[in-house]
Amino acid sequence: MGIDPNFDKNRETAGEENGVTVWGPVEPPETLGIHGTHVAVDYDICVADGACLENCPVDVFTWVDTPDHPESETKVEPTREDQCIDCMLCVDICPVDAIDVDPGRAGRT
């Protein structure tokens, strides 16, 4: 099962990390929530294969450490989600459907 496309309606914000909104619940290290709004990554299902980071034409993503998370100890964070051009390549290439891009959510938190 992939990221909830309605997470911004179904979850509450749990804070911010590196300038990116985090949507809860968050209970480290197992539950890390969804990071980002316009470009959102579900950290709880992300396996950090890096395809989104390597293929993004505008370098939206950066690596962050997520020690002891059961899926992977690093994740890709949409640190520069404001640079996203809505090409949807990251959505298409993610092997576990952990990413959602919604132009309608741009600028919202």
Residue labelled with tokens 């619940």? 25
35 annotated ligand-binding residue: yes
Domains, the chain, in order of start with CATH, read 7-105 (3.30.70.20)
84 annotated ligand-binding residue: yes
87 annotated ligand-binding residue: yes
Mean pLDDT within 16-33: 96
d(C-alpha 12, C-alpha 31), whole Å: 14
Mean pLDDT within 36-65: 97
As given in the structure block, the two tokens for residue 18 are 């590196």
56 annotated ligand-binding residue: yes
In the chain, the DSSP E strands lie at: 13-17, 20-23, 34-35, 39-42, 62-65, 74-77, 99-101
Residue labelled with tokens 């990116």? 20
CA distances from 15 to 2, 86, 88, 94 (A): 22, 25, 26, 25
Mean pLDDT within 58-86: 96
Condensed to tens digits (0 to 9), the pLDDT of residues 86-103 reads 999 999 999 999 999 998
| Phi (first) and psi of residue 76, to 5 degrees | -100, 125
Residue 105 pLDDT = 84
Model confidence at 109, in pLDDT bands (50, 70, 90)?
low
Which DSSP category does 64 fall into?
E
Residues in the chain: 109
16 annotated ligand-binding residue: no
